[in-house]
Structure 1
Amino acid sequence: MIKLLAVLIITLTLPGCSFLVEVILFNNSKSSIKVCNLNHTNQNCQTIEPKSSNKVSLVADKKINAWSYSITTSGKESIYSFAFEPYPAQASNIYCQGFFMKRCDIPLQYESDGLLYWAGKNQELPTKNFPNQPPGFPVAPDA
């Protein structure tokens, strides 16, 4: 019985080791946006409706110095390139998963003016008051 319990605990905690950190992106504009990860051959595009959020992968199969995403709104595509400080510097304390191997997503917010902001470690999305932005944020399109 003890061996079975030990195997069950190990089995339930191991999936936590394979979690990938993601960006949770809130679209705080009045239009749908299409977000594509340009660092991955399969660009993993997804649509985020106005005033809603979705997780966007932080996966790359190309050598990168900065993360690059395209955001398309109203038929216009813009490229956003940025770097994060080493994990967990910009990871949220709110958007987390896992128990033993906890991993926390990085919260970003897209604004109507086309800028991409870091939402902070301790704020829920959407946020009206952004904290001091890390180097390189807010991110302007095509900069």
Structure 2
Amino acid sequence: MLYSLRLSLICCLIALISIPALSQSTRTVAKPNETVWVIAYPVKANKRAQYERFIHEIFWPGAKNLSAAEQKIFKQTRVMHPTKPEPDGSYAYLFIMDPVIKGADYGIESLLKKEYGEPKASEYFKLFKDAIIEKNYKDYRLTQSKD
């Protein structure tokens, strides 16, 4: 009895130690002089749930249908959620491509077509376009410093 209790405890400890390590993926970040691209999409206040559903339930999961090279685009891109509204009431969500993959296709519409095919991609892209304020879109191409 005591032996099986110890064995169970040891198994639980091993599981607790190893599971977080398995779920954490190593993230590649830009080296000095490599390009980082930051895009800020202003999302309408009343469309935040729609936008987040598009990103987290449609766009990101769809990457599983892409080639390994195209999946790398998603692995090297972070999505940041806003903590407060902008002065105009919109919410700025950021994509951080770190580092940028030279020659890669980062176009949301074209990636959706590769993920889901033409008819579904068009439907999904409308969800994205309907949620953002396109004229206020901003992007920054930056170079990683040595520090």
Q: TM-score, normalised by structure 1?
A: 0.29
Larger gyration radius, structure 1 or structure 2: 2
Greater share of strand:
1
Higher RCO (C-alpha under 8 Å, 6+ residues apart): 2
